[in-house]
Structure formats: structure tokens, C-alpha cells
Amino acid sequence: MTLQINPFILVDGTASDAITFYQEALGAELLFKQTVGEGPQNPDSPMTDQEKARIAHSVLLVGETKFFVADQEVGQPLSYGNAITICITADTADEAQQLYDSLKAGGTVDIELAPAYFSPAFGMVTDKYGVCFQIFTKRAQ
């Protein structure tokens, strides 16, 4: 059996902005994007142009990892928390610093990026979309 696990980031009406943010902050490549309006429509429940513009699904690629970003369905609540974080492993402390600085823009610092006993540079930020990232740097072998 082959399994694949991909992070799926849900936001409330800001997925287009989040996609652009991750393209800039992480160098993400946009592989696919579909709006709600591009999907099947229910003629009994017409949508506004704003609802049609929401992102139904997108696929981004960072390194070898695909992750998804979409807008939550209208009327469905989102619940934020740090029970699940996305860990990004960088080869060097300089790369880690660049990622850390990019992701913290508009967000909050949870743990300052600094050397730790297990990593030359480790830190945590919650970005402006409420997603918690751990930035980890590999030790030199």
C-alpha cells in the first residue's frame, strides 16, 4: 500500500491571498486552482459573485511536497489551533531564517528562531492565516 499525506490549509475567504503569500514566502509553485464558480452549480441555490470567486481547491508544490489551500464552505466554522503544525526542514540556518522571516510577516512569533540542542536554527511562527509552522534546520553531518 502506498499512502500520501498532504497538509490542507482551510481559510475563510482569503485563499487567493494565502496562495500568493505561500508563493512568495515559500517559493511555492501553483499546480492547480479551481474556484467554486468553476465547479458544478445548483440552480436552486444561486451563488453571489463573491461566493463563486472563493477557492474550492488548489495544489501548491514546495520542494517535493504538495499541499492544498482552499476556502472553507460559506457558513461552516473554522477552528484554529496548534495541535497540528507544518514542519519545514531547511538545509542551512540562513535558509531557515529566510523562511522564518517570510512566514512571520503579518503573523505571530511562537518561538524565536535560534540555535537549539537539536538544530542549528529552530523556531515557530503562526502565519497571518492561522497556520502554525515549525522551522527546523538540519545538523551538519
DSSP lists the bridge partners of residue 9 as: 69
Structural domain includes residue 78: no
For residues 16 and 66, membership in a common domain is answered with yes
For residues 66 and 95, membership in a common domain is answered with no
Domain range spanning residue 22? 8-71
| pLDDT at res. 45 | 87
Distance, C-alpha 139 to centroid of its chain: 25
| pLDDT at res. 137 | 93
What CATH number does residue 97 fall under?
3.30.720.110
For residues 23 and 51, membership in a common domain is answered with yes
| pLDDT at res. 5 | 83
Burial of 104 (0-12, 13-18, 19+ CB in 10 A): buried
For residues 90 and 63, membership in a common domain is answered with no
Contact 11, 72 (CB under 8 A): yes
- Taking the C-alpha atoms of residue 60 and residue 16, their distance in angstroms, rounded to an integer, is 12
For residues 21 and 55, membership in a common domain is answered with yes
- Taking the C-alpha atoms of residue 15 and residue 79, their distance in angstroms, rounded to an integer, is 16
DSSP lists the bridge partners of residue 41 as: none
| pLDDT at res. 4 | 82
| pLDDT at res. 139 | 84
For residues 16 and 50, membership in a common domain is answered with yes
| pLDDT at res. 2 | 73
Structural domain includes residue 81: no
If one counts the domains in the chain, the total is: 2
| pLDDT at res. 126 | 94
For residues 60 and 97, membership in a common domain is answered with no
| pLDDT at res. 82 | 67
Residues with pLDDT less than 70, the chain: 3, 82, 141
| pLDDT at res. 84 | 80
pTM of the model: 0.88
What CATH number does residue 49 fall under?
3.30.720
